[in-house]
Amino acid sequence: MIKNIQFIFVFLIALAAFSCSDSQRKLPYLGNKQVGENGDTVFHTIRDFKFVNQDNDTITNEAYKDKIYISDFFFTSCPTICPVMKTQMLRVYEKFKDNPQVGILSHTIDPRHDSVQVLKAYRDRLGIKGNMWQFVTGEQDDIYEIAQKFYMVSAMEDSAAKEEGGFVHSGAFILTDKQRHVRGMYDGTKEEEVTKLIKDIQLLLSEQP
């Protein structure tokens, strides 16, 4: 009996220590850092952007003001990783669709094919409602630039990539905080990575006012 009590006591202490360490965990800031004029750290920041969504509405960075959001890059005719990515992103959507502090932003890398109408049909097939998850298109060079230089992922047209549908792109889900700093990257084709993303979103929500 005493040994059982001792075991339970040690277990509870270990559990409390783990919970405390997890609650105190901070997500890193990804990308290049610079020193500002006042000696403070200036973190890598997603630049201002302007795209068009599935409803033909203009979507800018202002739509994500005071929001944590998750970005990815895909195309609707993708024969390889995109369907898996969208299945996993649906998990994020279902978890946070009623939280006004969280958004999802999916950029097509094939704007010639993925018109507003195509994006809307694609979104409808996924069963997405409301404004939480936006699918956007725009100038191809603009999309590729923001992917490569700011979200720090690959996105390009490649005629040699026939099995991939003529495009090469990352399967990453990029977690961005309310100040547009990149705080995490996750393999959107792996369930365990997206589970970690969901936990990190919750951590980021508790971290920021």
Q: pLDDT per residue over 37-72, tens digit each?
A: 787 889 999 999 999 999 999 999 999 999 999 999
Q: Residue 23's pLDDT is what?
A: 55
Pairing of strands 58-60, 50-53: antiparallel
Q: Residue 170's pLDDT is what?
A: 87
- In percent, the amount of the chain with pLDDT more than 90 equals 72
Domains located in the chain, CATH noted: 34-207 (3.40.30.10)
d(CA 169, CA 74): 7
pLDDT tens digit at each of 209 positions of the chain: 444 444 343 333 344 444 444 556 799 999 998 887 787 889 999 999 999 999 999 999 999 999 999 999 999 998 889 999 999 999 999 999 999 999 999 999 999 999 999 999 999 999 999 999 999 999 999 999 999 999 999 887 765 554 555 677 789 999 999 999 999 999 999 999 999 999 999 999 998 55
pTM of the predicted structure, to 2 decimals: 0.84
Q: Residue 105's pLDDT is what?
A: 98
Buried b (16+ CB within 10 A) or exposed e, 137-169: bbebeebbebbeebbbbbbeeeeeeeebbbbeb
H-run or E-run covering 145: helix 140-145
